[in-house]
C-alpha cells in the first residue's frame, strides 16, 4: 500500500474548500464526543482509541488496536467492531445524503 501511495499523482487533485471544512469539523466533533463520553462514563482513555477505531477504522481495526493495549479487552473490541459495522452503514448513508444535497 505504501508503494502504491508513493506513486499517486496529487498535482491534479482539487478538493472543494467546503468539503475540507466539513471533514475537519466532522473529525473535531468525533474527537470531542469521544473524550466527553469517556469522561462521562468514567472509562479508561484506552477505550477512546478503541472506540474511535471501531467507528472510523472499521470492523478489523478495533480488535487490532485493542490487542495493542490489553488482550483481555478483545471480546469487548469484537462487540464494538460489530456495532461499528451496523452503525457505520447509517453514518455512511447520512454522508451520501449530505454529499447529494450540499455538494
Q: Which three cell numbers stand for residue 71?
A: 488482550
Q: Which three cell numbers stand for residue 39?
A: 469522561
Q: Chain-centre distance of CA 47, in angstroms?
A: 13
How do residues 31-76 score in pLDDT, each as one tens digit?
Answer: 898 889 889 988 888 778 777 776 666 666 767 777 777 788 778 7
Domain that holds residue 98: 18-102
Of 46, 82, 85, nearest in space to 66 by CA: 46
Residue 9 forms part of a structural domain: no
Cell numbers 495493542 correspond to what residue?
Answer: 68
Assess if residue 97 is contained within a domain.
yes
Considering the entire predicted model, what is its pTM? 0.50
Q: How far is CA 91 from the centre of its chain?
A: 11
- Residue 56, domain member (yes or no): yes
The structural domain count of the chain equals: 1
Establish if 6 belongs to a structural domain: no
Residue 7 resides in a domain: no
Amino acid at each position: 500500500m505504501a508503494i502504491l501511495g508513493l506513486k499517486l499523482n496529487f498535482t491534479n487533485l482539487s478538493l472543494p474548500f467546503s468539503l475540507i471544512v466539513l471533514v475537519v469539523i466532522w473529525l473535531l466533533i468525533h474527537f470531542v464526543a469521544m473524550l466527553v463520553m469517556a469522561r462521562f462514563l468514567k472509562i479508561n482513555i484506552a477505550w477512546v482509541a478503541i472506540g474511535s477505531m471501531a467507528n472510523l477504522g472499521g470492523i478489523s481495526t478495533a480488535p487490532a488496536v485493542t490487542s495493542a493495549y490489553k488482550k483481555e479487552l478483545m471480546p469487548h473490541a469484537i462487540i464494538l467492531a460489530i456495532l461499528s459495522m451496523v452503525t457505520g452503514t447509517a453514518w455512511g448513508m447520512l454522508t451520501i445524503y449530505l454529499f447529494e444535497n450540499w455538494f
